[in-house]
Copies of this chain bind each other. A is one copy, B any other.
């Protein structure tokens, strides 16, 4: 079991992976086939306990840090080496699915089980992490555990976050028994991989099994407010109107056009619109809408934003109406480390899976980890590109394929003793 050929033929147990996914999905299962397991609830504790039990059964050593991140470690031959890590999250959206996050954690457990089955020792240790509150549905900020781990914000900031009932992260962590002693981020990492359903339609649309994730798109969120003058729709002739909606609509269209002007990864969305007073026979006096711009580099996102802002200035000058564009949030683009990206591509190629380079349009814990260690992600298709929904679905053969790619990418980085 220690020649290159033998290692190449190594495969994970897809049925076992599927069974674990389905068992975990029972905790917080919803009538429509989804999962509601909000972070730091009793159900989250049950999920954490189940996963840790499996890790202990697999001979792993468990550490919990002060923000409740769980690290499950399989020793290597040289434990002075930083571990090769994989992970994701097991909290879900209120109407979430079975695979988002959970797949990334259980794929890591399955990698370890497979190594155990075949008696394979790695040079560097293998570590599987579950990160606290990736979803951000109950407490903000999102990606809280990995964010604290990567020192994107402080532990104190995360502890103080409250849910709608006023309960704090710290109290809820303590209540479910998941405040550990380890200081977040106190151990070095050799490399980080994360497997995840795509949450988009690209792989399915291209009939491709493995997405070799090149990076995560940078995001800028803006609020745009157009201020006109409300007036009666009947008695006010067209020439005397200051119709905020009519000045807003070309700008809404340009958000999409800006994305199309910057292919292939440009994305532009107006998802939220509020019209005031929002009455059938009153000309809108004010329109507020959201702008979501994304692209593969921060420079491209900035170019898109500049174009939209330039049009806003022109429309404001032409119409005489006020247009304000205010940045709400900004997440930098993250390009994954070529060594990790290549390791994923090589593994997919070696295993004979159809694969293509993709980008992630959504944030993941891997974005924060990329600041600490060479990182990469593996995407598999999800049905109709739908996620954050109880009907989220993925095929067993794709889940198996992604886990096999993870296994081989991690082994390449960890080194096999032989």
Residues of A within 8 A of B (CB): 198-202, 205, 217, 219, 221, 231-238, 240, 243, 245-246, 249-250, 252-253, 256, 259-260, 263-273, 275, 278-284, 290, 292, 294, 360-363, 385-388
What is the copy number of this chain in the assembly? 2
Tell me, in angstroms, the Cα distance from A273 to B284 when the chains sit together. Answer: 10
Determine whether the beta carbon of B280 is less than 8 Å from that of A290. Answer: yes
Interchain nearest-CB distance for A417 vs B (Å): 38
Determine whether the beta carbon of B199 is less than 8 Å from that of A235. Answer: yes
Interchain nearest-CB distance for A68 vs B (Å): 26
Determine whether the beta carbon of B201 is less than 8 Å from that of A231. Answer: yes
Determine whether the beta carbon of A252 is less than 8 Å from that of B249. Answer: yes
Determine whether the beta carbon of B267 is less than 8 Å from that of A281. Answer: no
Tell me, in angstroms, the Cα distance from A201 to B387 when the chains sit together. Answer: 51
Determine whether the beta carbon of B273 is less than 8 Å from that of A234. Answer: no
18 residue pairs from A and B, CB less than 8 Å apart: A200-B235, A200-B237, A233-B294, A234-B362, A236-B385, A238-B263, A238-B268, A243-B256, A243-B269, A245-B270, A246-B270, A249-B249, A270-B284, A271-B279, A271-B282, A271-B283, A272-B278, A280-B292
Tell me, in angstroms, the Cα distance from A294 to B235 when the chains sit together. Answer: 10
Interchain nearest-CB distance for A307 vs B (Å): 15
Tell me, in angstroms, the Cα distance from A271 to B246 when the chains sit together. Answer: 10
Determine whether the beta carbon of B279 is less than 8 Å from that of A232. Answer: no
Determine whether the beta carbon of A361 is less than 8 Å from that of B273. Answer: no
Residue of B nearest to A259 (CB): B238
Tell me, in angstroms, the Cα distance from A267 to B217 when the chains sit together. Answer: 44
Interchain nearest-CB distance for A85 vs B (Å): 24
